[in-house]
Amino acid sequence: MSTQKTPITVARGDGIGPEIMDATLRILEAAGARLDIHEIEIGEKLYNQGIMNGISDESWDKLRETKVFLKAPIFTTMGGGFNSLNVTVRKTLGLYANVRPCVSYHPFIKTNFPNMDVVIVRENEEDLYAGIEYSQVDGAVQSIKMITRAGSERICRYAFEYAKANGRKKVTCMVKDNIMKMADGLFYEVFQEIAAEYPDIEQERYIVDIGMARVAANPTEFDVIVTENLYGDIVSDIAAEVTGSVGLGISANIGESCAMFEAMHGTAPDIAGQGIANPSGLLLGSIMMLTHIGQGDVASRVHNAWLKTIEDGIHTGDIYQEGISKQRVGTDEFTKAVIERMGQKPETMAVKDYPSVAGGLKLPPLKQRDVVGKTLIGADVFVEWRDADRASGSDALANIARQALVEGIDLSIISNRGTKVWPDGQAETFCAPLWRLRYKSTNGQEVMNSQVTKMLDNLYGVGLPFVKVEKLYEFDNGKPGFTKAQGE
Ligand code: NAD
């Protein structure tokens, strides 16, 4: 066991952040954690100083230097305002895997599922969290869902390696590939490829909506769940709440060289400053940090003291239950109770004994793949047009759009909000003023770039300026680089 102190960066965050971080650091100190703590300020205080990304250059330096970050929750504006600093930190430091264990503490914390022990492995860098959004037409917005083969491979590999290292039996993939056939289809395709390398681990797939419903109704069916960023965010809050409180949820963000540990919940503005927040999520996150930096002895001490406190019925308001709990306490009393039990072990729940091995899972390099060639066969051109709001009015738009045609390209369909509205548009089909004109080569052959740009020029000429263009490719492996419109 090394007596050397490990440098870590700490941020106290916003809302209940300072209260739960103070509690966590007091418990870690009492447990003899060997930490060289570097504090940084991020979040609301910096926004108020006009630092709109919420973090200074010096803090970035500190994070890159220490490589380990214990972070309290930070405030993010809803709707407009600044971008989420959480997402920025995760992506900038390459923290691709978000690991969220959700465990029940029956019979000491009320839950309908005494044996629940689910780990959610959430992709942490891609998906709708890329935050790439556009509005080229007043009243219509598009968000880009970014899924890559590399991102999917890393997270699926992580899930299986995690399962292998932790004696887990099953990995469940949750996707919505019946609707997002390309994005979620790619994620699931990669999942299957990686799963084939782990024949000893059971694999299954759920469409995410019924998958989440099952997590809420019968979480003991699940072991490890791997999923995309947004689904992972939602399903892990459901799972944490099912264990008894979102205040118990842990979030470990793991990258190749850096790692960040936090509570799953947010800044809880409704209870901030009242001294009643449950510090358990952040504390349990710090236990994952201690195992990551090789201080398994301290991690075991803290975890056992925390379990004993929970067993003794000393509970914060969010988990307090008449008939189960013994004492309703605030953050400070809860902290003192854990410190008083340092060195003790739980009597009913399993005693923790973590190994002292530093570093997380080491993943093999990404699979090498040949780059597949592609052929340009047309373009989807988005235009703003306000002369009709029903599909039955789209003939007029088609007539103008056809005037822009160049040799070798034809108007194939028009769609609106993803549904085909021309030809044969129906009077019932409502349309937004953002229309998609699908132009394709007449003979299925390659289209030249110059033909597309000429057509875009022509559209200006006929009074239909384009607001966005997506090129249509066909890949040499036979895969189209675009989906059909609904009804196409
Ligand atoms: P929240 O998780 O902060 O709160 C949801 C509910 O759970 C509230 O009723 C709250 O009182 C309760 N709760 C949360 N943590 C608790 C704890 N430790 N003890 C007792 N009760 C607790 O979610 P929200 O209200 O949707 O978000 C508030 C802010 O937090 C937003 O600005 C959001 O962007 C931010 N947020 C930050 C993070 C992060 O920093 N990782 C994560 C999620 C949300």
Q: Which pTM value belongs to this model?
A: 0.93
- Same domain flag for 351 and 254: yes
Half-sphere exposure of 300 (CA within 13 A, CB side): 13
> Is 212 touching ligand 1 by the criterion CB < 6 Å?
no
Whether 129 maps to a domain, the answer reads yes
Atom 10 of ligand 1, residue of closest alpha carbon: 268
Q: Give the burial string for 361-390 (b: 16+ CB within 10 Å, else e).
A: eebeeeeeeeeeeeebbbbbbbbbbeebee
Question: Cα(23)–Cα(334) distance, rounded to whole angstroms?
Answer: 9
Which pLDDT value is given to residue 486?
A: 87
CA–centroid distance, residue 84 to ligand 1 (Å): 14
Whether 478 has a pLDDT exceeding 90, the answer reads no
Which of 310, 331, 357 represents a domain boundary (last residue)?
357
**pLDDT score for 246:** 84
The answer to the question of residue 483 being in a domain is no
Identify the CATH number of the domain in which residue 433 sits.
3.30.70.1570
Length of the chain (residues): 488
- CATH no. for residue 213? 3.40.50
Residues 6 or more apart in contact with residue 33 via CB below 8 angstroms: 290, 295, 298, 302
What type of residue sits at position 221? E
Burial track 427-459 (b if 16+ CB lie within 10 A, e otherwise): eebebebbbbbbbbbeeeeebeeebbebbbeeb
**What percentage of the chain exceeds 90 in pLDDT?**
88
Per-residue model confidence as pLDDT tens digits over 387-428:
999 999 999 999 999 999 999 999 999 999 999 999 999 999
pLDDT at 188: 98
List the residue whose alpha carbon is closest to atom 35 of ligand 1.
Answer: 266
Side chain identity, residue 480 = P
Residues 405, 347 share a domain: no
Protein residue closest via CA to atom 26 of ligand 1 = 266
* Residue 137 shares a structural domain with residue 223: yes
Instruction: Please report whether residue 37 resides in a domain.
Output: yes
Closest C-alpha residue for ligand 1 atom 12:
268
How far CA 99 is from CA of 84, 232, 268, 356, in Å, comes to 19, 10, 21, 20
Select from 230, 261, 276 the last residue of a domain. Answer: 230
CA of 268 to the centre of ligand 1 (A): 4
Q: Is 331 in the pocket of ligand 1 (CB under 6 A)?
A: no
Distance in angstroms (rounded) separating the CA atoms of residues 253 and 266 = 15
Rg (CA), the chain: 26
> Which parts of 8-52 fold into alpha helices (H)?
17-30, 44-48
Q: Is the CB of 268 under 6 A from ligand 1?
A: yes
pLDDT one-digit tens code per residue, 212-253: 999 999 999 999 999 999 999 999 999 999 998 888 899 999
In a domain, 363, yes or no: no
pLDDT tens digits, residue range 119-178? 999 999 999 988 899 999 999 999 999 999 999 999 999 999 999 999 999 999 999 999
Arithmetic mean of pLDDT over the chain: 94
For position 177, what pLDDT does the model report?
A: 96
- 153 and 259 co-located in one domain: no
User: Does the beta carbon of 308 lie inside 6 Å of ligand 1?
Assistant: no
Same domain, 7 and 85: yes
Which domain covers residue 347, as residue numbers? 1-111+244-357
User: Which residue out of 246, 329, 331 has the highest number of ligand 1 atoms within 8 Å of its CB and is therefore the one to mutate?
Assistant: 246
- Does residue 486 fall inside a structural domain? no
Helix, strand, coil fractions of the chain, as percent rounded to 5: 35, 25, 40
pLDDT 10s digits, 282-303: 999 999 999 999 999 999 999 9
Q: What's the confidence (pLDDT) of residue 291?
A: 95
Q: Is the CB of 124 under 6 A from ligand 1?
A: no
Q: What angle do CA 282, 284, 290 make, to 5 degrees?
A: 105
Residue 488 belongs to a domain? no
Query: In this structure, is residue 124 part of a structural domain?
Result: yes
Last residue of some domain: 357, 386, 414?
A: 357
Question: What pLDDT, on the 0 to 100 scale, is given for residue 2?
Answer: 66
Residues 351 and 392 in one domain: no
Nearest atom in ligand 1 to the alpha carbon of residue 84 is 34
- Look at residue 484 and tell me if it is in a domain: no
Residue 73 CB less than 6 A away from ligand 1: yes
If asked whether residues 127 and 218 sit together in one domain, one would say: yes
Q: Is the CB of 253 under 6 A from ligand 1?
A: no
Looking at the structure of the chain, the number of domains it has is 3
Nearest CA to 10 among 268, 2, 26?
26
Query: For the segment 308-355, what is each residue's pLDDT rounded down to a tens digit?
Result: 999 999 999 999 999 999 999 999 999 999 999 999 999 999 999 998
Question: How far apart are the CA of 262 and the centre of ligand 1, in A?
Answer: 12
Q: Report CA(240)–ligand 1 centroid distance (Å).
A: 13
Residue 81 shares a structural domain with residue 181: no
Q: What are phi and psi of 236, to 5 degrees?
A: -75, -35
Pair (209, 285) in one structural domain: no
Task: Assess whether 405 and 350 both reside in one domain.
Answer: no
Residue 36 confidence (pLDDT) above 90: yes
Structure tokens of 38? 């570097």
